[in-house]
Chain A
Amino acid sequence: MITAGIDLGSAAVKIVLVDEKLNLLWSKVVPTSPESVVLSWKLLSEGLEKIGADKSSFLGVATTGYGRNSFGGRQIVVDEITAISSGINHFTDRKKKLIVNIGGQDIKCIKIEGGGKVADFKMNDKCAAGTGRFFEKISAILNIPVNELNALDTRGAIPIEINSTCAVFVESEILSFLYKNIDKKDIVAAINRSIARRIGDFIRSFSIEEETYLDGGVALNRNLVEAIQEELMMDVRIAAHPQLTAAIGAAVSLLTSEGAIS
């Protein structure tokens, strides 16, 4: 049975198609827009066509993310915490672990107890520091595409300090460095350290587990991940498809509720 999971997030819409063995058959990520629901329908048709699925083999759609209730064609709605947990559980064992999901506009820490159940969680409050939107802003100021922030070689960067983690005020700090002709890679390294400190404080205020996963699109930023590891003084794992975890988790929830998997 083909199942669709759609994560209508604050920064991007993520859609996946999986089968009952939970193989990822197709996926797509597009920026969130005012027409995200219409877009989701189009993407769904595109994906089903791409993998050649027919109506009889299509189980349905599960939605998650901030726009989860707006997609009319859904079978079930799954809250993001449950979806992310199901997604991570699907790719890993069901042991005790901590998931740190860095989304488009917020950060979620989710503690999973043995057996895969959510034991506790914490979300940051109305601050976009370190989230996807924050790095979009940084990329615009530095005139470096977001995906290249990840590729930038920040090894050997000179240790400058950026103290502001506010998405707006950080701009003036960055500009002051640019006017002093500080290399962009040094600035990016400083931003990563600053954000890693903030994320580290947030995680420590919750709970750290031996097995800690970073999830969400920002987890694709290798430089930030290294800064977080340094801040936490431990290795962190990266989810298999960090941007798609919630969408996959939503699909897993639908398959489970329909009895297709246990």
Chain B
Amino acid sequence: MLKLPERLFKQAQKKYLNEIQSEYESERLALRSRDDFLPELEHFIETLSLYTYPERFTQRFSRPIAGFYCVPVPPELLDAFGYHPVRFCRGSASLQKISSFNLPALSCPLIKSCLGSFYLEESLEKKAKLLIISHTCDWMVRFPEISSQTPGRFYTLDLPHIKETERSRKRWQEEIFALKRHLESLSGQRLSRKKLSDSILKYTNAWKLFNQVIDLRRKGSIPGVWFTLIANSFMIDDVDCWARQIELFLKKYPDGARKQAGPRVFLSGSPLVFPNLKLAGLIEEAGMYIAADNLCTSEKLYNTLSCDDLSDYGLLKALAEGCQLPCSCPTFSVNETRIENTLALMKDFDIQGLIHCVLKGCHPFDIESFVLEKKIKESGYRFIKIETDYSREDKEVILTRLEAFKQTF
């Protein structure tokens, strides 16, 4: 991993840590200085900034960290074993710089950013007791190898890329059962059914509350930047704490308040992750309103479970289904249902167009864009693909496109 002499590498670590912290800090300042900032949003901003301050994180949360990447990892299971689940999908431009020398130039910015944390002297990733990776895209498959961590540092889940067959579902259930066994051997304790069902309940209740935020969004009340911020913080916050803050936020945000202007759009594609809320901000700046999305770091970062069988087997099966079947990742071989769901949502909620975000190097979403564009346009909606990365330098170019896109409505 080290291509620099130790002394220079240490200097680079210090330099990049400062850069990363100021990147997060400037985004926090920008958010706080918005006209529509509410004190109830402060918790979400603060929580997300803990990604860059591992010490503050451990002061606030006492449980050991179980870190994971991508949606198909059930946080309820980690929670039931006493871990604090943290999703380590990162959106930092500075973090990607520190890892760029070890990856091809056109690599996915999210991967570069995730990898960057391993090169810092201290990071949450390094504090994690356990790291779980799900084989979604090719980048994630190779991630343990390219991160140069000690063998066995990552526990991998082999995600089948076909959802529709019984065989594939069974294979995935086996993966989740194996994860349970791994957690049992790591923690030295057997899975308690009560703890797991309590955990499922906690997550379900939190998401029920978040559904009220989604309802407000559908009604046109919440700017895309705030919505993404709240959703993103689910990835790192304690679930009960997050739910309480959502409740506080909802009290301040009465139904139908603050109606946002502009054409209503659907946002799809590569994930938006704090501190890179660039695209959501630019869509607002161009005068459009994000009424829905299917991003894995926003509306689709979690799915509530449906569970009739309350046995250990039934609960684990529900966990497996919950993080595979509704997953919005385009790495699955058949995506028709997801596109149909998108179209249905656009129709039901009076959405006029779709903005498809592709992070340069995120091939699954890029490849999908051609099929998606055809289907969206055939259905009479407007479509635009925005290709970007985590840098801020392309803001003007993107804004030009978005402003012109708005004119087409």
Contact = CB atoms under 8 A, between A and B. Distances in A.
Contacts of A82: 404, 407
Interface in A75-89: 79-82
Interface residues of B, number: 14
B407 A79 contact: yes
B377, B383, B396, B397, most chain A CB atoms within 10 A: B397
B382 A120 contact: yes
A202 interface: no
Contact of B407 (A66, A118, A126): A118
B322 to A, nearest CB: 36
B120 to A, nearest CB: 29
A126 B382 CA distance: 23
A81 B404 contact: yes
A49 B333 CA distance: 65
Contact of B404 (A121, A125, A126): A121
A80 B404 contact: yes
Nearest to B382: A120
B32 to A, nearest CB: 24
Interface in B365-409: 377, 382-383, 387, 394, 396-397, 400-401, 403-405, 407-408
A119 interface: yes
A82 B400 CA distance: 10
Contacts of A125: 387
Interface in A123-142: 123, 125-126
B403 to A, nearest CB: 4
Contacts of B408: 117-121
Contacts of B405: 121
Contacts of B407: 79, 81-82, 118
Contacts of B397: 66
Given A79-B407, A120-B408, A66 B396 contact: yes
A111 B404 CA distance: 12
Given A118-B407, A118-B408, A119-B408, A79 B400 contact: yes
A117 B409 CA distance: 10
A38 B76 CA distance: 61
Interface string A61-83: 00000100000000000011110
A80 B397 CA distance: 11
Contact of B400 (A66, A117, A118, A126): A66
Contacts of B403: 79
B330 to A, nearest CB: 19
Interface string A19-49: 0000000000000000000000000000000
A126 B401 CA distance: 13
A119 B404 CA distance: 10
A123 B382 contact: no
Contacts of B394: 126
Interface in A98-129: 117-121, 123, 125-126
Contacts of A81: 400, 404, 407
B353 to A, nearest CB: 10
Contacts of A80: 400, 404
Nearest to B401: A123
Contacts of B400: 66, 79-81
A66 B399 CA distance: 10
B143 to A, nearest CB: 26
B389 to A, nearest CB: 10
3 A-B pairs with the lowest CB-CB distances in the bound complex, closest first:
A81-B404, A79-B403, A79-B404
Given A66-B396, A80-B400, 14 more contacts: A66-B397, A66-B400, A79-B400, A79-B403, A80-B404, A81-B407, A82-B407, A118-B404, A120-B377, A120-B408, A121-B404, A121-B405, A121-B408, A125-B387
30 contacts: A66-B396, A66-B397, A66-B400, A79-B400, A79-B403, A79-B404, A79-B407, A80-B400, A80-B404, A81-B400, A81-B404, A81-B407, A82-B404, A82-B407, A117-B408, A118-B404, A118-B407, A118-B408, A119-B408, A120-B377, A120-B382, A120-B383, A120-B408, A121-B404, A121-B405, A121-B408, A123-B401, A125-B387, A126-B387, A126-B394
